[in-house]
Amino acid sequence: MPITTKRKIVLWSLWMLIVPVGLFLVYKEYPPAEMDSWNLFAYLLFFIVACLMPMNINGSSAYLVQWATVAVFLKYGIIAEILFSQLTVLIVTLRSRTAEPLSFRIPFNSLMFFTASLLAGFAFYAVGGQVGSMEIAHVVAYGLIFQFVAFLANQLIFYFYDKSAGADPKFFSVDVIWDFSITLLVFPYALAIYISESYIGVPALLLLGIPFFIMTAIMKMYNSSEKINIDLKKAGEIGHQLAARLSTEEVLDQFVLQVADLFKADYAYVLDFRDKQLQMLRMYENSQLIKNTVPPVHYNQGVGGEVVTTNKSVIYDRKSEWKDIVTGHLPIDTESIMAMPIARNNKTEGVLILGSRQKYAFTTRQLQILDILSTYFAVSLEKASYVERAIAISERCGLTKLYNYRYMDAQLEKQMVKVNNHELTKLSLVMMDIDRFKGINDQYGHQSGNDILIQLARIIEEEVGEEGTCARYGGEEFVVLLPNYGKDLALLFAENLRKRIESYPFAIISDLDTERKQQTIHITLSIGVSTAPDDSDDGMALIRNADRALYIGAKQAGRNKVAAYAK
């Protein structure tokens, strides 16, 4: 359910009607016991330290202030406990990092804590509990009632709130079990503080509080180191996965997806830095990779530009820190940003930007892990580019940059399998040969012949586009493979290509001319077409059929013609 201005107004109105009025009525009905100002100040100081030192339990920060609030209730009564609980709301809400605005969380949490305190206090008084009692059985029994009712009220409020927001909460969830366990854990400490302080005064808070806070700090450091170890292990696993990818596209996709998942980022972007521009390479939004729609920007613009120009990583905890430098591609609900340069051989070649809808979503510790991942990424990207270049050399013609006959044969076999499995209904093969090419070489030189082959390759690529695969099959022969093209459509393609070549002015510089001036010449093609499964269900037979149509149906018929194989 979206948090609208209307909802905030309603919530603050309820708070004004309930909390201040409720405090006044409770004060009149249950006036506080006599208070020692120094004792109360010591409790307050103890309480604030407890709020500032949460314990990490089950991966979440737990504020174990119940042992202070329960002790305060048993000693001074409900009004003191309500005030202490409201102070908890303010401190914990300000320290919590969530996407919900403070203007909503403060009144909501205040109402929730006030209601829980009120119900728990009334239950305590209703069953005969007495504030200030020193009878152990009385304190334990009635104190447990107070603690249990407060816990139950909190859980019920959360449950019905989630229900009203359209969620499907479970009352007996893992989080509820943890909360109940914590409640039972801190209750003996609350009794110990209450009883000890009643007998020996303020020193009791030091005797019990100092060891507890030291233990909390040690556990926090231990949990932090454990989290770092877990993240380092995950980073190593991601590094192995990146190293296993053999193409730059796969490395980019894997890196963005894994990093976004590891750091729970809502948005992730990889920018390439070259020619004084930042070009978007990958965009991750709404839990998926999306098509790039962002034009290049100057290298010193936006968050990415700041990273490039300073060569330093940055973390922004909230939108107000970066809104004046954004270039416009970050979603409007982004709050936190973590950005890092991607370097190779001590040279910045790109930028990784992570965004979150929550404030304070990223930490310096995560930045250290991200630095390791960026190194893995840069190395894997370089290795993948080497592999791609090696594959390109083995699969492509060095002169025309089209695929070679080895690659084409392999593709033909794959496509024929699809035809025979009925995954493709038609498959046409178009074979073409330059007419009287030997005469061109003899008249203008072999370099001029190479220039013609290169220009012809570009024209064929342009005509084929994404519809098929084109290759230089040998010498002056070219082959085009057209999936889902029947014979009529393939013949139409071949005829259009033949006409274009016939009228196209090929630019050459004759090696055999003393002046070596640029001139234009015209060439023609003879083309043969064969289609599967009509003509054959075998790949090599399809090639032979197209070759036969080329030489018998086109070459021997006068050249500059298109012919289809006929049985």
> Domain holding 428: CATH number?
3.30.70.270
| CB contact set of 52 (below 8 Å; sequence gap of 6+) | 91, 95
143: part of which helix (H) or strand (E)?
helix 136-164
Token pair in block for residue 124 = 């305590």
Flag whether 213 is in a domain.
Answer: no
| CB contact set of 24 (below 8 Å; sequence gap of 6+) | none
Shared domain for 357 and 423, answered yes or no, is no
Shared domain for 261 and 364, answered yes or no, is yes
Flag whether 238 is in a domain.
Answer: no
Residues 468, 483 contacting (CB under 8 angstroms): yes
Flag whether 146 is in a domain.
Answer: yes
- Residue 215: which of 257, 173, 185 has the closest Cα? 185
Place of tokens 């060095």: 398
Residue where a domain terminates, one of 336, 355, 388:
388
Query: What is the pTM for the complete model shown?
Result: 0.55
Flag whether 216 is in a domain.
Answer: no
Q: Could you tell me the CA-to-CA distances from 316 to 252, 307, 339, 359, 403 in Å, in that order? A: 24, 12, 9, 9, 48
| Residue 15 buriedness (CB in 10 A; 0-12 / 13-18 / 19+) | middle
3-class state of residue 291 by DSSP: coil
Shared domain for 288 and 254, answered yes or no, is yes
The helix/strand count (H/E) of the chain reads as 16, 16
Shared domain for 166 and 105, answered yes or no, is yes
Flag whether 167 is in a domain.
Answer: yes
Residue where a domain terminates, one of 388, 415, 438:
388
| CB contact set of 74 (below 8 Å; sequence gap of 6+) | 131, 132, 133, 139, 143, 190, 191, 194
Shared domain for 147 and 269, answered yes or no, is no
DSSP, res 117: H
The domain of 352 spans 248-388
Task: Report the number of distinct structural domains present in the chain.
Answer: 3
Shared domain for 171 and 260, answered yes or no, is no
The Cα 213–Cα 348 span in angstroms is: 44
Sign of CA dihedral 107, 109, 110, 115: positive
The Cα 6–Cα 4 span in angstroms is: 5
The Cα 155–Cα 168 span in angstroms is: 14
In this structure, the number of other CB atoms found within 10 A of the CB of residue 148 comes to 16
* pLDDT at 33 (0 to 100): 75
Q: Which DSSP string do the residues of 62-111 spell out, in sequence order? A: E---HHHHHHHHHHH-HHHHHHHHHHHHHHHHHH---SS-HHHHHHHHHH
Shared domain for 297 and 193, answered yes or no, is no
Shared domain for 364 and 424, answered yes or no, is no
Flag whether 220 is in a domain.
Answer: no
Shared domain for 347 and 459, answered yes or no, is no
* pLDDT at 535 (0 to 100): 93
For residue 148, the domain's CATH number is 1.10.1760
146: part of which helix (H) or strand (E)?
helix 136-164
* pLDDT at 538 (0 to 100): 92
The Cα 296–Cα 273 span in angstroms is: 10
Q: Could you tell me the CA-to-CA distances from 261 to 68, 265, 307, 371 in Å, in that order? A: 38, 7, 22, 16
| CB contact set of 432 (below 8 Å; sequence gap of 6+) | 477, 478, 479, 480, 494, 497, 525, 526, 527, 528, 550
- Residue 429: which of 348, 527, 303 has the closest Cα? 527
Q: Which DSSP string do the residues of 255-284 spell out, in sequence order? A: HHHHHHHHTT-SEEEEEEEETTEEEEEEEE
In this structure, the number of other CB atoms found within 10 A of the CB of residue 421 comes to 8
Which residues of the chain register pLDDT less than 50? Answer: 58-59
Shared domain for 348 and 440, answered yes or no, is no
In this structure, the number of other CB atoms found within 10 A of the CB of residue 409 comes to 16
* pLDDT at 154 (0 to 100): 82
Residue where a domain terminates, one of 359, 388, 417:
388
